[in-house]
Structures are given as structure tokens and as C-alpha cells.
Structure 1
Amino acid sequence: MLNAAAKPFVKLVEKYLPDPFVFVLILTVLVMGSAILLEQQPVTVVLQQWGGGFWGLLTFSMQMLLVLVCGHMLASTNPVKAGLNKLAALAASPGRAIILVTVVSMVASWLNWGFGLVVGALFAKAIARRVQVDYRLLVASAYSGFVIWHGGLAGSIPLTIATPGHFSEDTIGVISTSDTLFSTLNLTLLAILIIVIPLVNRAMMPPKDEGIYVDPQQLEEPQLNKQEHELNPAEKLEQSRLLGGIVGLAGIAYLAFYFNDGGSLNLNIINFLFLFLAILLHGSPAQLLHSLQKAIQGATGIVLQFPFYAGIMAVMVQSGLARDLSQWLISFATADSLAVWSFLSAGIVNMVVPSGGGQWAVQAPVILPAAIELGADVNKVAMAVAWGDAWTNLIQPFWALPVLAIAGLKARDIMGFCLVQLIITGAIISAVFVAM
């Protein structure tokens, strides 16, 4: 029944969902065209707005890039991999394996979304080497934990609005993470989902004779060839664990002073933490750079797409399009219902703008003025957009690609399981935003 329900959606995705960069080009044309036709802006003016704002999010783009890269580098350290292998020994049965991989993925995604994606996939492989369990469901369970990332310590939207100098500071100021990530609403959602999601994954386990299994030998990690020749001075520096250890400890020491002086979480501090933990745990500069080469492959979309998001945001704000969209939203939303509408709209927008940071750049100029005019809770509305973005990642293949590449599967292999989670988690998140 599950496969039958998922097949139409899988075919639709395979046939009609192009690369996200194609979407950003389409969105650019739509926004510029709307500014010309609906706002009566001259073509030359719209072009100037677009080009003038194209590089307006360079700092923000670099922050988003580092969230993914630093999380990936930390997840690929030997201590983290060794810890995952030890945890995998706790999976004594297929059912326990499904629950364990889901919980570990959720905790890792809460810490850092780049970290969670890689840890989830690596942990799924570590378990599959020990336990005979449906490999598709195991990997889908690992990916399903990603749904809570935007309510976690590296959530793009709550950390962005907590960072001084963010692009919406003139509208809403700087909002502490105590009012977003550590609010009662967000903590309630996390508590409910960390119980429900693993149990739903466990309930989807197919009968043993219908499961799809994998040969454990195919999942063994390739061993790196050790250098046998005598190292020259340059290579000795690259392999120096002392150098990496000193710099890594210096970074951790700075963070200790920062938090001791009352410092709070923001994008820069989270990236600093994960970068220097990665430096410390990799040991040598050579190992860190090797992991960087792998991590950067999954970050190319951020590099190319974010300047286009900045151009789109500039046109929307300067042409008056964002203002009119806000007025349209106000026409049927209320102060109490705006959060739910924001959540649902964010889930839809995420299908064409599969980046929390990029999505906030596009939606903030519309959502925030509407929240202010209606007198809605800005903190709640911002988190509604964050959760909407995270929610439809369950069926948005963009962020599943790193997981699928590590696991050796395709999107169609996990889509059916993720679709079930989409329906259940969507109902839960909506209900919490209505109730609270």
C-alpha cells in the first residue's frame, strides 16, 4: 500500500523536478516580470534593482556555506566515525536499528544540519553492516531526522535574526535565540517529533520476506593508502597533529571565554564551534583538507544560487512587490492564523527554493511586514517559516542527495517512507502552531 501511494509522486518528481538552479532562474524571471507588469516598473529600473542587489548577501552566503561544510568536516572525523560504530552495536534487532538511526540522526541534525546529514548516512551504513534490516527504510529513517534541523542550533532563520547586522534588522531588530530556538513552542515541537518520528519509522518496517537488504561487504569504507616514502618538510607540516591541535584548542578556548562573558548563539559562533572542533578532531591539516574536498562538493548550490536570491530579494523590496504580497496575505490572515499560513507557504516555497537561508531572503520581505501590520508574534511567525522549510525537505530531493550518495541509493528508494512522514509531521506541526 505504501509503495502504491508513493509511486505517482515519485514519477512526478523524476519527470518534472529539475535542478534547483533551474528553479532560481525561473523565479528570477517571474519576480522581474511581476515587477514590470504588476508594479508598473520600467524594465531598466528593474534591471538596476536586480543587478544592484545581486551581491547583497555575500556575508550571509558565506555563513550558509560554512554551516554545511563545517558540519560535514566534523562528521567525517575519525572520533565521530568510531563513536557511530560503537553506537551501532546497540542495534540488536531490526526494529531497534530503525529507532536508533532515527534518534541519532535527529540529535545530530539538531546540533548542525550539515553534521546531521552526514552522520545519519554514515550511521545507517554502520548499522547495516551489523543488522539485517530493510536498507531503504534504514536510510529513509536517517534522512527523516533531518526534519527538525531548522529548530536546532544551526537553524538558518533563528540564527540569522539573532546575528547583529542581518538583512532584516531594520524591520525587526536582533531577536535572541531564547525567543525562537529555546522558546516553549519550539521545544514542545522537538519533544513531540523526537518521539513520533522514530515510532512511525518503526511501524513502517516491511515483513522480513519483503525487505530489501544489502551485502555488508559492499558497505565497508575504503582504506586510504598510507604514504610509504619519507616525508619532506612541507609534507611533515601538513601531517602535523601538533599544529592542528594547538590551533584547535585555541579556538575552543576562545569560545569558553565568549560564553563565560555572556555571549549568545548566532551563525558566526556556531560555525566557529564546528570548524574548530573539526580542526581539533581531524588532527592534521592534511586530513582536514581531505574532508573539505568532499564537503565542498555538496555546497556548490549555495555558491551559485545565493547571489540570485539576493537579486530576487532586492527586486521584491524595491519594486513594491513584497509590500503588495504582504497586503494580500493580510487580507485573509489574522494575527493568530498568520503563523500557520506562513508554515504552509514556506513548505511550498521550499520546493523551489531548497535552502533555509535563501528561502528567508525571499520570504522575509513578505512575511515580516504582514506580521508587524497584523500585530502577530514575529518570533512565532519566523519559526513557522523555519519549520515549513524543514518540513517539505522530506520530499525535496536537494538535501537528500548527500545522504543518498553516501548510502548508494536513489531518491525513489526512500520517497515512499518520507511521504508518510511528511503527512504525519505536517499535521503535528500545524496543530502545535494553532494551539500555541
Structure 2
Amino acid sequence: MLKVVARPVVRLVERYLPDAYIFVLLLTLIAAGAAMLVEGQSPMAVLRVWGGGFWGLLSFSMQMLMVLVSGYLLASSPPVRRGLTALARLAGTPGRAILMVTLVSLMASWINWGFGLVIGALFARALAREIRVDYRLLIASAYSGFVVWHGGLAGSIPLTIATPGHFTADRIGVIPTSETLFSFYNLAILAALFVIMPLVNRAMMPDERDIVLVTPEQLAEPEPVAGKDASLPAERLENSPWLSWLVGIPGVLYLVVYFIVDGGGLNLNSVNFLFLFLAMVLHRTPRNLLNSLTEAIKGGAGIVIQFPFYAGIMAIMVESGLAQSLSELFVSIADADTLPFWSFLSAGLVNLFVPSGGGQWAVQAPVMLPAAQALGADVGRVAMGVAWGDAWTNLLQPFWALPVLAIAGLGARDIMGFCMIHLVITGVVIGAGLTFL
């Protein structure tokens, strides 16, 4: 049944969904128009807010670009390529490949969202080299695991409210992760998704006549340069492993100290640091690393051009009061039992325009928390409703798919048809878990 349902949805999306860059331009116009029509903002006020916020994500943009680049560098190193190939050969069949990539992505995203985005896409590429499987569904399956990130160990909203001194501590105090991430309802939602998502992806496998295979060019990797061919002093330095090892090994040792001695956790910076310095060591020579970098950087164009536009959209949504009005609309029809569900839906809608977990919580917390206290709702569950809503519509919002698509060499329209099916099914599972468990 899912195969039958997925086929027209995939074709419809492939025909009508524009490039992700066109999507962000349309969102900009929608947000600006809504700010003027709904919030009564003047065109000049919206223009100033948009322009003033346009560069608000520069630091985050560089982090995301490094996720793409450092992940590609690590995966293209000979030892990791051999390891991924060996793991991919265990799949054996297209159906098993879909199941494996979904499970790997789910587990990696539960640990850390940046880790999950890169690992899932890289493993999908390795599988595509070994098995004749629909490449679009393979990459969509790798991306589908990302939906669990905000219910996992790196969920920014539950970790924020569990931190002493957080910005809403004077209202709700500190809410431990035992009441959010490790609560029964959250673990039950995760368990259900870990079972359902691989099966859904397996069930959507297209018929043989509809399969779209990857081209060899999309999976090409730079070949290592042999150091013995270098003749000039500069070339010998570029092709010597010693310089890479003298800098790369201390970088790896720092991470050992960071994780084991200092008790540091996985975050975007530590993931990038890990990928980069392991890549330096495993590529052996600076020249091999630079050859791989040339290929890696080609996929970063979408991140570079689109993230500033999303920063401008976020500024319009926040400064105009539009995001707060959307939240208040959903709160107005809720009661104590249904507020987590309506928080989930409102967060999913806001996430289309404010695709940032921390930024979204800053916008919605001043609305959701007073409502939760006034209605006598479970504050931790309401916060997790916002967290899951933020993660949920990432299946529709191409913002977070950009690194995956860049690694895969695909466009948003290639995978979003499958992701629409994911959106419906995960929405039912998460909404039911937040409401009834």
C-alpha cells in the first residue's frame, strides 16, 4: 500500500517542488507578507528587520559547512571507505540496504544531529556502490532518521530546561531529563519510530521499472596521490605524512582529553573537530586531504547562499510577533491534556520559518509555558511537544537536508516525495505518543 501511495506523491513532488533556493525565496515573501497583513507591520519595518537579521546565522552557517566538508573528508579517507564498503556488503539485498541505512541514521541522529546527518548520507553512498537500489529512496531513508534528533541526547530544548540558570528558570525551575528525554512517553515514541521507520522505507521501495540508480559520477572519490612521485621540495612536503600526523594526532589526543578527562559531550563543534582531525590522520598526506577537500566543497553552495535568507526569515518571524501569534492561536484551543499535542503542531508550523531548535524555543517558550501553568499541563511534556514539532517538519523543510543532499549529489525534489510519507506517519506516531502515553 505504501508503495502505491508513495509513487504519485514522489512524482508530484519531482514535478512541482522547486529547488531549495526557490523554496527559501518563497518563504521570505510569505513571511514578509504575513508580517504586514497579520501583524500590521509596515513594509519599511519588515524591510529593516529582514535586512538587520540577514547575517544572524553566519557562525552557524560555517558550522554546517564544516559538517559537510569534514564529514566528506573523513568518509573519503581510504580506511573509512574500506570500512563503510565492508559494512555495506553485509546488506546483500536492496531491502536490507534500506533497513540498515535507516537504522544507522536513527541511531546516529539520536546521539547527535550533526553526526546523524553526515553518517547516514555517507553510509548511503557506500551502499549505493555495492547494491542496485533506488538512490532517491536510499538517501531519503538516510535523512528520515533525522526526525528523532530532538528526542535524543543532543535535543536542545530538553537540555536547555535541564540547565540551571536557563532563561525560563524563574518561571518553571529546572526540569530534569528524566521528565523529558528519558520519560516513558518519549522513550516509547523513540522505540516506535525505530521500528516503524525502517519498515516504512522498506515498504516504499519502487518497482523495478521505476528505480532510479546513481551514476558513477555522483559517487566518484579523489584518488590518493603517491608521495614517491614528488620531486620538488614543496611537493615532497605536500606528499609527506609527517606534517599531517604531527598536527592531526595532537588534535585526536585533545578529543580524548575532552571526552574522557573533561567529560565533554557531543556538539556541533566537537563533531566537526573529530571528523577533521581523524581525516587529517587517515588521509596521511596534506595533498590527499586537499584533493578530497576540492570535491567536498562543491556541495556547500546551497548552505552558503540559503542560510542568510533563513536568518532574515527568522528575524521577520520573531521581531514582527508572527511566531508568537501562531503559537497563541494553537494555545487558545487547547486544554491541559491536549496542550502538548497543539504545542507539537504549532512548533511544526513555526519550524518551517524558524528552522532552529534553540531559536524556536526562545520564540515559543514565552507563550507555551504560561499556558501550561495556567491550564495545569505537564510543562516537561509541553516542552517536548515543541521539541518534537521542531524535528518533525524538518522532513518537509529542506534547510536541514542541504548537507545530506550535498553529500549525495541530489536535489530536494529527489527525496521530498518520500519524506512527505514520512511526515504523515511520524506525525501520527509522535502526536499519539504526546497525547495518550
Task: State the TM-score, normalized to the length of structure 1.
Answer: 0.76
**Cα distance change of structure 1 residues 2 and 190 upon mapping to structure 2, 3 Å threshold:** closer
Structure 2: distance between partners of 1:210 and 1:33: 44
CA contact (8 A) 1:109 1:149 kept: yes
How many angstroms apart in 2 are the aligned matches of 1:176 and 1:65?
33
Counterpart secondary structure, 2:194: helix
Cα distance per residue 1:48-94 (max 9 Å; x no partner): 33333333333333334333433333333322221111112322455
**One-letter amino acid of the counterpart of residue 14, structure 1:** E
Specify whether residues 218 and 252 from structure 1 end up closer, same or farther in structure 2 by C-alpha distance, changes over 3 A only: closer
Aligned-partner residue type, residue 243 of structure 1? L
Distance 1:64 1:305 in 2: 12
C-alpha change, 1:304 and 1:364, in structure 2 (3 Å) is farther
Q: Distance in 1 between matches of 2:58 and 2:392?
A: 26
Aligned position for 1:48: 48
Q: Which amino acid aligns with 1:309?
A: Y
Q: Which amino acid aligns with 1:301?
A: G
Give the match for residue 76 of structure 1.
76
CA contact (8 A) 2:68 2:118 kept: no
Q: Confirm or deny that 1:305 pairs with 2:302.
A: no
**Aligned amino acid, residue 224 of structure 1:** E
8 Å contact 2:84–2:123 — kept in the other structure?
A: yes
Determine if the alignment matches structure 1 residue 249 to structure 2 residue 249: yes
CA distance in 1, matches of 2:122, 2:381: 34
Q: What SS does the corresponding residue of 1:198 show, helix, strand or coil?
A: helix
User: What is the CA–CA distance in structure 2 between the aligned matches of 1:369 and 1:309, rounded to whole Å?
Assistant: 22
Q: Kindly indicate whether the alpha-carbon contact (under 8 Å) linking 1:75 and 1:118 is maintained by their aligned counterparts in 2.
A: no
Consecutive unaligned residues in structure 1, runs of 5 or more: none
- Counterpart of 1:285, as a letter, is P
Instruction: Write the mapping of 1:30-429 to structure 2, written as runs, cut at 5 A.
Output: 30-111=30-111, 113=113, 116-117=116-117, 119-124=119-124, 126-127=126-127, 130-131=130-131, 138-152=138-152, 170=167, 178=177, 182-184=181-183, 186-204=186-204, 212=211, 221=220, 224=223, 226=225, 229-259=229-259, 260-334=261-335, 336-348=337-349, 352-353=352-353, 356-357=355-356, 361=359, 363-374=360-371, 375=373, 380-381=381-382, 383-394=384-395, 418-429=419-430
Is the CA contact (8 Å cut-off) linking 1:240 and 1:285 kept in structure 2?
yes
Give the 3-state SS of the residue equivalent to 1:299 in structure 2: helix
1:296/1:423 CA distance change after superposition, 3 Å: same
Amino acid at match of 2:52: G
CA RMSD of aligned residues (A): 4.3
SS at match of 2:332: helix
Runs of 5+ in structure 2 lacking a partner? none
Report if aligned partners of 1:101, 1:138 keep a CA contact under 8 Å in 2.
yes
| 2:24 matched residue in structure 1 | 24
Contact 1:144 1:418 in 2 (8 A): yes
Q: What is the CA–CA distance in structure 1 between the aligned matches of 2:161 and 2:276, rounded to whole Å?
A: 21
- Give the letter for the 2:269 counterpart: N
- Aligned twin of 2:434: 433
Question: Separation in 2 of the partners of 1:162 and 1:74?
Answer: 33
Distance 1:266 1:102, change over 3 A: closer
Q: 1:393 Cα shift?
A: 4.4
Distance (whole Å) between structure 2 residues aligned to residue 153 and residue 18 of structure 1: 34
Q: Distance in 2 between matches of 1:415 and 1:422?
A: 10
Shift of 1:433: 1.9
Give distance in 2, aligned partners of 1:181 and 1:267.
22
Query: Deviation string for 1:332-377 (max 9, x for gaps)?
Result: 2345534323433444455x55x843x764x445422112221366
| Structure 1 residues 281 and 428, CA gap change in structure 2 (3 angstroms) | farther
| Residue-by-residue CA offset, 1:184-226 (whole Å, 9 max, x unaligned) | 355443333223222333445578x778486998998566274
Give the percent of matched residue pairs that are identical in Structure 1 and Structure 2. Answer: 58
Between 81-90 and 240-249, report the one with greater CA deviation.
Answer: 240-249
C-alpha contact (below 8 Å) 2:68/2:407 kept by paired residues: no
CA contact (8 A) 1:279 1:288 kept: yes
Contact 2:153–2:181, Cα closer than 8 Å, also in 1? no
Structure 1 residues 341 and 406: CA distance shift in structure 2, 3 A:
same
8 Å Cα contact 2:355/2:399 also seen in 1: no
Alpha-carbon distance between aligned partners in 2 of 1:422 and 1:85, rounded to the nearest angstrom: 30
CA distance in 2 between counterparts of 1:412 and 1:244 reads: 39
TM-score by length of 2: 0.76
